[in-house]
Structure 1
C-alpha cells in the first residue's frame, strides 16, 4: 500500500482489495471496520464516512486531516495507508492497532489504577507523538 492516494473507488472495489471484517466502532459520520489486505495480508482499519451526514466544512476538515496524516511517520501516530472517495462515502484505510482504547483501559482499571512504570510508558508515548507533531 504506499502513500495515500485520492482514487475513485466504489464499495465493491474496496471489497475487491480488502476482506471487510467486523465493526470496530462508530463515529459521528459512519463506522470503522477491520479489514485485511488481499494482496499482502496486512490488517488495517477502514473509516467509512457518509458525506450526507457531514457539512461541507466537515468534509474539508477530513481532507485536511488526510493531508496531514500522509506526512507523518512516527510509531505513536497512526499511519494512513490510502483513501478513497465516491459520491456518497469517504474511505480512509489506516494502520490497525490491536487492543483497547486508552480511555477504556483507564476506566477498566477502576480504583486499582496503574503501576507507576505503566503510567510512565503511556505518558512517554503520548509525549513522543505530540513532540513529533510540533517539530
Structure 2
C-alpha cells in the first residue's frame, strides 16, 4: 500500500490537463503520465477547505481504494501529498455514468439491465470479502471505462466506504433515495445496506423512476422504512415476474431476509435465463426525464455524507 503514496511533486510525473468535474472541496482533471502517455483522472483536494471529518473520510477512502483490486472497481494508481493539496490519481473513465449511457440506447431490454447489475454485484461481493462496505451505491457512482458499446462497468467513489469489524455500523450516510431502512432507524446495520441500494438501482433500470420518491426527506424516509414497492402501471406490465421477484428479494426491509451476492448471482433473472429481450424503449424515455431532473438537483442529491445527512436522519429518529 505504501508504494502508491508519493511526496514528490505530481507535475514531475504528470501533465495536468482539462477539468473534468468540480465538487465542494475537489476538482477532477484529466492528466497524462509522462513516462508512457497514459491518460488518467486526478482528483485534486484542497486541504484548506476540509473540515476534520472530511480529512478522515478522504484518508479512509484512499486507504480503502489503494487495497482494492477488482476489474469492476475504479482503480487508484498513485497518491501525491503536498502541503496544500492531495492528488489522487485514478483510472480515467471516459464512458459516462450509467443512466447517461442507457438514455442514449436505441434498443434497451431486461437482459441489458441484468448485464449492468451482474458486475456491480460481483464488485460488491469482492468488497465485502475484503471487509469493505461501500454505503453509497447509486447510478452516478457506476461508470463506463470508454464510450464503446461493450465497455466495462465500474464502481467509483468510496468516499463513505468503511472497513467493518463484527460490530454493527451506526454512522448515517448515503444518498437519500438509495439509503437502506436500517440506516434510518439508528439500530445499527451491516453490509446488507449495499444490496438494498442495488435493489433501488435495479427498480429504476426496469421502469425509469425510483421506488421511493418524496419532495421532503421526512416523508421519503417513512416511505423507505415501510418498504412498500409499487409494481402497478403499464411499465411494470411488460416486466418479467422474475425481474420483479429479484427486486422484491433485494428491497426487503429486514436485512436478514435480503438477498446477498451468492443468491443474487444464482437468480434466474441475473443469469440471463429469464431476462426478457423485449424492447423497453419507454423506460429510456422515463430515465431521460429522471436524468434531467437529477442533474438540475445535483447539488441537493450529491452525497450528504456524514454531517448533513446524519443531522437529517437523527432528526427523523428523534421524531419517531
What SS does the aligned partner of 2:36 have? coil
Which of 119, 124, 130 lines up with 1:130 in the alignment? Answer: 124
CA displacement, residues 10-52 of structure 1 (integer Å, 9 cap, x when unaligned): xxx3222112111111122120011111102211110001111
Match of 1:4 in 2: 4
Structure ID, larger Rg: 2
What SS does the aligned partner of 2:87 have? strand
Match of 2:69 in 1: 73
Match of 1:49 in 2: 45
What is the CA–CA distance in structure 2 between the aligned matches of 1:3 and 1:81, rounded to whole Å?
A: 10
What is the CA–CA distance in structure 1 between the aligned matches of 2:24 and 2:98, rounded to whole Å?
A: 20
TM-score by length of 2: 0.37
Mapping for residues 6-25 of structure 1, pairs under 5 Å: 7-9=6-8, 13-25=9-21
Residue 114 (structure 1) shift: 3.1
Match of 1:97 in 2: 93
For structure 1, which segment, 63-72 or 112-121, has the greater mean C-alpha deviation from structure 2 after superposition?
Answer: 112-121
Residue 113 (structure 1) shift: 7.9
RMSD over aligned Cα atoms: 2.1
Greater relative CO, 1 or 2 (CA 8 Å, sep 6+): 1
What is the CA–CA distance in structure 1 between the aligned matches of 2:84 and 2:10, rounded to whole Å?
A: 14
Residue 109 (structure 1) shift: 4.8
What SS does the aligned partner of 1:46 have? strand
What SS does the aligned partner of 1:99 have? coil
Larger proportion of strand: 1
| Residue 119, structure 1, aligned to residue 113, structure 2 | yes
Residue 8 (structure 1) shift: 2.3
Tell me, which stretches of 5 or more residues in structure 1 are unaligned? none
What is the CA–CA distance in structure 2 between the aligned matches of 1:33 and 1:109, rounded to whole Å?
A: 25
What is the CA–CA distance in structure 1 between the aligned matches of 2:77 and 2:97, rounded to whole Å?
A: 21
What is the CA–CA distance in structure 2 between the aligned matches of 1:47 and 1:123, rounded to whole Å?
A: 27
What SS does the aligned partner of 1:97 have? coil
Tell me, which stretches of 5 or more residues in structure 2 are unaligned? 130-320
What is the CA–CA distance in structure 2 between the aligned matches of 1:99 and 1:91, rounded to whole Å?
A: 22
TM-score by length of 1: 0.84
